[in-house]
Amino acid sequence: MKVLVVGGAGYIGSHMVKLLLRAGHVVVTLDSLVTGYRDAVVGGEFVQCDLADRAGLDEVFKQHAFDGVMHFASFIQVGESVLKPDLYYRNNFCNTLNLLDAMVAHGVKRFIFSSTAAVFGEPDYVPIDEAHPAHPINPYGISKWMVEQALADYDKAYGLKAICLRYFNAAGADPEGELGERHDPETHLIPLVLQAASGRRPEIAVFGRDYDTPDGTCIRDYVHVMDLCQAHLQALAALAAGGKSDAFNLGNGNGFSVQEVIDAARRVSGRNISVKDATRRSGDPARLVANSERAKSVLGWKPEFADLDVIVEHAWNWEIKMNANPQVEG
């Protein structure tokens, strides 16, 4: 198939481009390079274009007959979304409508959307399945939920079939060491802990030890970036086989606390890691764990790298590479 990967120069999108090429698909990457890296796109055609540029999008759709579109491009910082909601609603919602409208105008009917566990807000229960109500609590989560709702209406009106994949905590790196996470600023736990292990940071701050969890630190469901990409391949295949629009929660169903992640990082790296206790970060639920049974039964998804130490090991290999080549950090 010929696939347009929007945001293919970013963390998850770049892994997706690699997996699609390996699976024999033809890939065109579209990225504004506002947060992505051109050198993270390992093959296929590359187009630099912002989703705000509707004419630029039309040009790309005129030049290629796509079988499907995967959309990874978005702003992802929860805290920033509270301070600058306009950025999040415009980029994550309005600009996504530009992409959907271009698809409708050019007759492209298959869409895979990077959604998030943040659409659920403070959970009513865990593990969180797809029946759990969506009640996002910040503009980031709301912007993603708005797209999910718009997609349901685009299906009814225009027959655009979409699968929304709600990632829990995307983590890890390309097992071959070619790609990894390069956020600037970095806010995610695993890369930050590993930067503390490699010496790029002096320490890791633990945001709260007074949660209602066994060791008092927050519990998250870390899911390997390549397993997320594998789910996209299966979602696209499901739509190509005539499947209906749907949404799936993607995680391993195992929760690990912040302290357990730090312990895993010490084990994997063999380094000492300085830890500083800090106050809670606002908006952090105590526990977010996915129930991904539907992705398994409907899509046939089977995570290959579910072990936390393996996820941390792949991220550590990338951190070592970044530390040795700081010029590629951007």
The catalytic position among 11, 37, 88, 140 is 140
Kindly state the number of chain residues that form the binding site for ligand UFG, as judged by CB under 6 A: 21
260 binds ligand UFG (CB under 6 A): no
CB nearer ligand UFG, residue 281 or residue 302? 281
CB nearer ligand UFG, residue 125 or residue 240? 125
**Segment interacting with ligand UFG, rule: CB under 6 A, options 104-112, 113-121, 122-130, 231-239:** 113-121
Nearest distance from residue 77's CB to ligand UFG, in Å? 8
Query: For residue 149, what are the CA distances in angstroms to 132, 142, 221, 246, 299?
Result: 15, 10, 25, 11, 21
Nearest distance from residue 169's CB to ligand UFG, in Å? 5
CB nearer ligand UFG, residue 60 or residue 217? 217
Beta strand 256-257 with 204-207 is unpaired
Residue 133 near residue 125, CB atoms below 8 Å: no
289 binds ligand UFG (CB under 6 A): no
Nearest distance from residue 206's CB to ligand UFG, in Å? 5
Residue 16 near residue 72, CB atoms below 8 Å: yes
Nearest distance from residue 107's CB to ligand UFG, in Å? 32
169 binds ligand UFG (CB under 6 A): yes
Among this protein's residues, is 140 annotated catalytic? yes
**H helix intervals, the chain:** 11-22, 54-63, 78-83, 85-88, 95-105, 139-158, 189-198, 225-240, 258-269, 293-294, 308-324
A 10 A CB-CB count for 216 gives 15
What gap in Å lies between CA 88 and CA 78, rounded to an integer?
A: 10
What gap in Å lies between CA 49 and CA 44, rounded to an integer?
A: 16
Among 3, 57, 76, 108, the residue binding ligand UFG under the rule CB under 6 A is: 76
Question: Taking CB under 6 A as the criterion, which residues in 188-227 touch ligand UFG?
Answer: 188-189, 192, 204-207, 218, 220
DSSP string across 190-242: HHHHHHHHHTSSS-EEEE-S-SSSTTSS-EE-EEEHHHHHHHHHHHHHHHHTT
CB nearer ligand UFG, residue 58 or residue 284? 284
Please give the positions annotated as active site. Answer: 140
Would you tell me which residues interact with ligand UFG (CB under 6 A)? 76, 78, 116-118, 140, 169, 187-189, 192, 204-207, 218, 220, 258, 281, 284, 288
